[in-house]
């Protein structure tokens, strides 16, 4: 398995790098402390910081979902913006047209995208590799054009505004939005963690390493991939709802934009594919870069693209992969290793 | 610049792009090939972002056009009552010529055999003495040269801007999906079907130009996932 190869004897260091694990207790305590700090933030921090954190969490969670597809399951999708857009529009329709509570409508967005993901997968799964990547993108474009052609109901290319947001005092709305974001962010990490430690995760690892071998030991490849595709659509759909709960205004052009997929890929590649820590590290790096580069227009994108290409050539395992190789760092252990006989 | 006619400039642009393709593949992309298809996919994706934005800095986001003079509007009467634009006719002829040339290359020459062998199974091809990295380089060079011809013809026909690439990539993808992987003449049919369905869609509703193409592609994917004339199975 990746990362577990025994070093060759001549290159063996004096003491082999021992996996660095935090004990479960340390992990649980620091995890709870972090979540408590995050949840209590509205009591002591500025609204500006809260909005920034919501944005950060959106990137983190959508990258986790993209990593679930690309990193663990080998399904590189350039069409995850489908779920961002559908989640956002579901929020608008349910909250504004059907009168559902807008925070609940964010979750409904996930359910709707999960449902739409089933027929979508039926089409996309006929493609492999690069064709799958572009095929999912075509599907996203199809949805964008469909929604843009609804000029009356969804106001076409003009997009719509979340008017339900006006029913609630602003600071209250922002506080609830923030709390929902924390739940979604922590939830996305825990979901992937739990999934990868389950039977599904074992099957996925097998598929990633060799589809044929996995099939021969009885892994139900299509079923597992479909499950993962649907889960990723659900997660990304919820994020889509959250993005537009925060932004309050949605257009087909912005929500079904391939830019989202590019951000997801960038974050995961920089941080480290196929790990939970990777997208977290990547999201921090991306978010920091984005804040600093905001004024540089096209140059910032050139730099981001350059960094991604550079990382792919020099360290395809990402920053967290480097840290893992160097120090054996692991916070969310999801790798399975053989115990060497002693 | 020297004021070359765009159609003449192809003779310079295509070889230039051929060289660039070889450099790109051998200098950069071949290094990403060892660990699955994700690294080359993401590397090229990153490159496309870079190229688009460099073009935007160099040429601004405004649309540009290539000027081929009177050729752009010239038309010829094929049969009484039916006139066709000269430029579309030239485009079509060039397209058929390129496809025929590629077909000959792939089916009749040792190089073409090496291409097909590497595509089927690079490891075995290497055992037979084929240098797959060299083949990848030539394939990328060839591909960029053909794209260059297409790009120039497209630039004469319509305007273009730095960010237009992705949309064209989608059309190319749809053409291949409709025509079937690995079939050159299938691509021709795929391109025609895509173009016709886009224009039929646009006739019904001006906003449906792209959508019609997407729907035809997705329908084909649903009912005939190997495309109309598929030759290979690794779709």
Of residues A127, A133, A312, nearest to B235 (C-beta):
A127
pLDDT at B80 over 60: yes
pLDDT at B232 over 60: no
Neighbours of A209 (CB within 10 A): 12
Confidence band of A46 (pLDDT split at 50, 70, 90)? confident
CB contact under 8 A, A131 and B174: no
Is residue A328 within a helix (H) or strand (E), and if so which, with residue range? Answer: none
Q: Which among A127, A138, A305 has the least Cβ separation from residue B170? A: A138
Kindly determine whether residue A273 and residue B235, on different chains, have CB atoms separated by under 8 Å. no
Question: How confident is the model over A296-312, as a mean pLDDT?
Answer: 89
* Segment among A126-140, A320-334, B79-93 with least mean pLDDT: A320-334
B29 touches chain A (CB under 8 A): no
Indicate whether A255 pLDDT > 70.
Answer: yes
The reply to whether residue B166 touches residue A258, judged by beta carbons under 8 angstroms, is yes
B164-199: pLDDT as tens digits: 888 898 999 999 989 888 788 899 999 999 999 999
Nearest residue to A252 (alpha-carbon basis) of A136, A107, A84: A84
Q: What is the pLDDT of residue A29?
A: 86
pLDDT of B8 over the 80 cut: yes
Q: Does residue B1 have a pLDDT over 60?
A: no
A50 contacts A175 by C-beta, under 8 angstroms: yes
Range A52-66 average pLDDT:
95
> Is the CB of B185 inside 8 Å of chain A's CB atoms?
no
Give me the pLDDT at residue B213, please.
93
Contact B221, A123 (CB under 8 A): yes
Residue A4: predicted pLDDT:
45
Q: What is the structure's pLDDT at B76?
A: 83
For chain A, say whether B219 makes contact (Cβ under 8 Å). no
The pLDDT value recorded for residue A54 is 94
> How many Å apart are CA A144 and CA A256, to the nearest integer?
6
CA distance B51 to B57: 10
Q: Which residue of B has its CA nearest to A273?
A: B38
Percent of chain B with pLDDT over 70: 97
Q: Which residues of chain B have a CB within 8 Å of the CB of A308?
A: 42-43, 45-46, 49
Residue A110, pLDDT score: 96
Q: Delimit the domains of chain A by residue range.
A: 46-257
Distance between CA atoms of residues B51 and A1, nearest Å: 36
Q: Has residue A249 got a pLDDT over 70?
A: yes
Across the interface, of B38, B210, B225, the residue whose CB is closest to A145 is B210
Give the tens place of pLDDT for each residue, A202-248.
Answer: 898 888 778 888 889 888 889 999 999 999 999 999 999 999 999 99
């Amino acid at each position: 398995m990746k990362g577990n190869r025994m070093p060759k004897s001549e290159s063996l260091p004096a003491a082999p790098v021992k996996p660095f694990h935090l004990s479960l207790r340390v992990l649980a305590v620091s995890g709870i402390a972090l979540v408590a700090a995050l949840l209590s933030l509205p009591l002591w921090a500025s609204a500006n910081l809260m909005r920034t954190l919501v944005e950060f969490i959106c990137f983190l969670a959508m990258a986790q979902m993209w990593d679930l597809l690309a990193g663990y399951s080998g399904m590189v999708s350039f069409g995850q913006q489908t779920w961002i857009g559908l989640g956002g529009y579901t929020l608008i329709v349910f909250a504004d047209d059907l009168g559902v509570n807008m925070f609940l409508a964010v979750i409904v967005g996930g359910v709707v995208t999960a449902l739409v993901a089933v027929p979508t997968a039926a089409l996309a799964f006929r493609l492999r590799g690069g064709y799958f990547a572009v095929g999912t993108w075509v599907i996203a474009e199809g949805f964008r054009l469909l929604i843009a052609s609804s000029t009356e109901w969804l106001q076409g290319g003009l997009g719509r505004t979340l008017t339900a947001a006006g029913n609630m005092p602003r600071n209250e709305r922002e506080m609830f939005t923030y709390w929902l974001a924390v739940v979604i962010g922590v939830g996305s990490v825990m979901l992937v963690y739990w999934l990868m430690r389950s039977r599904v995760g074992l099957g996925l690892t097998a598929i990633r390493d060799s589809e044929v071998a996995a099939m021969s030991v009885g892994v139900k490849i299509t079923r597992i991939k479909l499950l993962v595709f649907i889960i990723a659509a659900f997660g990304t759909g919820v994020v889509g709802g959250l993005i537009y709960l925060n932004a309050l205004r949605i257009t087909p052009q912005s929500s079904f934009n391939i830019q989202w997929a590019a951000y997801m890929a960038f974050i995961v590649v920089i941080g480290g594919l196929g790990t939970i820590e990777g997208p977290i590290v990547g999201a921090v790096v991306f978010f920091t870069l984005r804040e600093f580069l905001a004024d540089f227009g096209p140059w910032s994108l050139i730099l981001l693209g350059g960094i991604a290409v550079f990382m792919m050539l020099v360290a395809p395992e990402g920053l967290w992969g480097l840290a893992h190789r160097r120090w054996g760092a692991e916070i969310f252990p999801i790798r399975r290793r053989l115990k060497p006989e002693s | 610049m020297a004021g070359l006619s765009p159609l003449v400039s192809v003779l310079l642009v295509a070889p230039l792009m051929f060289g660039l393709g070889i450099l790109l593949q051998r200098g950069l992309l071949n290094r990403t090939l060892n660990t699955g298809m994700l690294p080359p996919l993401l590397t090229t994706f990153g490159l496309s972002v870079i190229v688009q934005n460099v073009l935007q800095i160099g040429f601004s986001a405004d649309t540009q056009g290539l000027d081929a003079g009177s050729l752009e509007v010239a038309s010829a009467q094929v049969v009484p009552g039916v006139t066709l634009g000269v430029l579309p006719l030239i485009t079509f002829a060039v397209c058929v010529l390129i496809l025929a040339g590629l077909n000959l290359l792939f089916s009749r020459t040792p190089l073409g055999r090496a291409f097909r062998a590497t595509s089927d199974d690079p490891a075995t091809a290497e055992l037979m003495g084929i240098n797959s990295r060299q083949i990848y380089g030539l394939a990328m060079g060839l591909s960029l040269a053909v794209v260059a011809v297409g790009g120039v013809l497209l630039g004469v026909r319509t305007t273009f801007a730095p960010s237009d690439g992705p949309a064209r990539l989608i059309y190319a993808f749809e053409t291949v999906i409709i025509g079937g992987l690995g079939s050159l003449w299938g691509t021709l049919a795929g391109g025609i079907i895509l173009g016709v369905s886009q224009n039929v869609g646009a006739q019904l509703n001006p906003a449906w130009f792209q959508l019609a193409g997407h729907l035809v592609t997705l329908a084909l994917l649903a009912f005939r996932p190997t495309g109309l004339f598929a030759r290979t199975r690794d779709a």
